[in-house]
Amino acid sequence: MENRLILNSQKTVICLLISAFIISCTSSSKLMKSGNYDAAIQKSIQTLKRKKQNDNEVVILEQSYQKANDRDRDRIAFLKKEGRPDNWDEIFTLYARMSQRQQNIKPLLPLRVTVQNREAHFDIVNYDDEIIQSKNNATEYFYTHALSLLEKNVRVDARKAYGELRKVKSFSANYKDVDKELVRAKNMGTSYVLFKMKNTTGVPLPPTFEDELTKISLTDLNTEWLSYYTHETKGWEYDYTIVVNMKNINVSPEGIKETSHTESKTIPDGFQYVLDSHGNVKKDSAGNDMKTPKTKTISCNVIETYQSKKAIIAGTLDYFNNSTGQIIKTDPIASENFFEFHSWAAVGDIEALKHETKEKLGNRPMPFPPGFDMLLQAGETLKGMAKTIINNNRAVLN
């Protein structure tokens, strides 16, 4: 969800940049002809700030200003005639827009169309009364409507009420008891979720073990309308409960497996004299005794010890709707923690060993880790997995 929001925000920024680029590259005349009057006004204002005597831009500004105001006044007349109380917000926006529009051009006035020898005409109207009245009417409507939504005591309506109360707050920060009602809407619209660990294996576990498993922070998963808790508060009503239902907790026996192999090598072993047929030492041409090298084969037995041990916690991640008591979703979950260690010992002449074999020597068998410690490590992994699954399934908790 968070990734989608980020992506949508990026798309919005890109669209705004593209729109700004298109407007900057489009003439005020084309913008006016396309009905984009406020963009035409801004384009003309930018041009006239640089060069005030520009008859073409003055005329475009004059016409765009008139057309924009005419369109807004027509819309206001229709909305008032329609008589719907929820129209006051739009009416307020239209009056505020017309007021801001004339504020934007005031610094440039007066403007002349020199070719026609006349002063450009811009209606300057005080909209203060209309703005105040429409804002007050919109404020009253949103406040009253928000209270009626809260009376339904339905989560989705409470969220709508919260949005309307925020509008009330933006119109009038201290309107009636808007702050109190905002808190009520927030509480009513929020889904409160309790996270629990449950041991259903039938195997008693030390209290410290279960305490460690429940030490998990989910606050970074909270959203505007979703709040997670890992410790239950008496008297507080939770809308949903997520339970890690541990159905299998097991530590394997300590495994030791030995294998061996022998490596051999032929090495020099001095020399021997070369004898003739009579058993006498032969001489070479220089009169020296003749010799030949001797070799011998050495060997070494290598014993490899492989140690292994495994801890596993497996079960399900169950989502309960507390108002109905029904399971609304379940996901399998399992975490394993492995201990593996290799050690090598040599019996014999180690000079018979290959270089890579010699490098393995020196490791001695290690003490096996306690099963409790291995389960705690598996539990840490399990908590991370549970958090990921919960994050991926936030839409389930509406």
Q: How are beta strands 226-229 and 191-199 bridged, if at all?
A: parallel
pLDDT recorded at residue 238: 94
> What phi, psi does 251 have (nearest 5°)?
-120, 125
- Coil vs helix vs strand at 179: helix
Give pLDDT, residue 199: 86
- Using CA atoms, how far residue 354 sits from 60, 178, 215, 302, 358, in Å, is 91, 82, 50, 11, 6
Which DSSP string do the residues of 224-271 spell out, in sequence order?
A: TTEEEESS--TT---SEEEEEEEEEEEEPPPEEEEEEEEEEEEEEEEE
For residues 11-30, average pLDDT: 58
Tell me the CB-side half-sphere exposure of residue 261, using CA atoms within 13 A. 6
353-393 pLDDT, tens digit each: 999 999 889 888 999 999 989 998 998 999 999 999 999 99
Residue 387 confidence (pLDDT):
92
CA 210 to chain centre: 28
Tokens describing residue 44: 């003309």
The fraction of the chain above a pLDDT of 70, given in percent, is: 94
Condensed to tens digits (0 to 9), the pLDDT of residues 212-221 reads 877 888 989 9
- Select from 127, 152, 145 the least CA-distant residue to 87: 145
Partners of 303 in the beta sheet?
A: 260, 345
Interval 126-174: pLDDT, tens = 999 999 999 999 999 999 999 999 999 999 999 999 999 999 999 999 9
Query: pLDDT class for 12, splitting at 50, 70, 90?
Result: very low
162 touches 196 (CB < 8 A): no
- Whether the per-residue pLDDT at 225 is higher than 60: the answer is yes
In eight-state DSSP terms, residue 310 is E
Percent of the chain clearing pLDDT 90 (strictly above): 72
pLDDT at 46 over 70: yes
Give the pLDDT of residue 197. Answer: 87
pLDDT confidence of 25, banded at 50, 70, 90? low
- In whole angstroms, give the CA distance from residue 256 to residue 309: 9
Band (302; pLDDT cuts 50, 70, 90): very high
- pLDDT at site 177: 96
Residue 9 is predicted with a pLDDT of: 43
Look up residue 18 and give its amino acid.
I
Q: How confident is the model at residue 276 (pLDDT cuts 50, 70, 90)?
A: confident
- Predicted confidence at residue 205, as pLDDT, reads 77
Q: Which of 14-28, 81-95, 257-271 has the lowest mean pLDDT?
A: 14-28
User: Pick from 67, 64, 25, 20: which is nearest to 44 by CA?
Assistant: 64
Question: What dihedral angle (degrees, nearest 10) is formed by the CA atoms of 267, 269, 273, 276?
Answer: -50
What mean pLDDT is predicted for residues 64-70?
Answer: 97
In the chain, DSSP finds a helix count (H) and a strand count (E) of 11, 8
Q: Which residue has the higher pLDDT, 14 or 267?
A: 267
- Res 1 pLDDT > 70: no
What separation in angstroms does the CA of 318 have from each of 85, 245, 325?
Answer: 46, 7, 12
* Diameter over CA atoms, the chain: 143
Q: How confident is the model at residue 291 (pLDDT cuts 50, 70, 90)?
A: confident
Residue pLDDT, tens place only, 73-109: 999 999 999 999 999 999 999 999 999 999 999 999 9
Provide the pLDDT for residue 19.
Answer: 46
Radius of gyration of the chain (CA): 42
This prediction has a pTM of: 0.71
pLDDT at residue 13 in the model: 43
Inform me whether the pLDDT recorded for 313 exceeds 60. yes
H or E element that contains 141: helix 128-150
Range in 162-166, 203-207, 227-231 with the lowest mean pLDDT? 203-207
* pLDDT score at 7: 44
Asked if the model's pLDDT at residue 64 lies above 90, the reply is yes
**How much of the chain is in helix, strand and coil states, percent to nearest 5?**
50, 25, 25
Q: What number is the average pLDDT over the span 229-256? A: 92
For residues 394 and 398, give the distance between their C-alpha atoms in angstroms, rounded to a whole number: 8
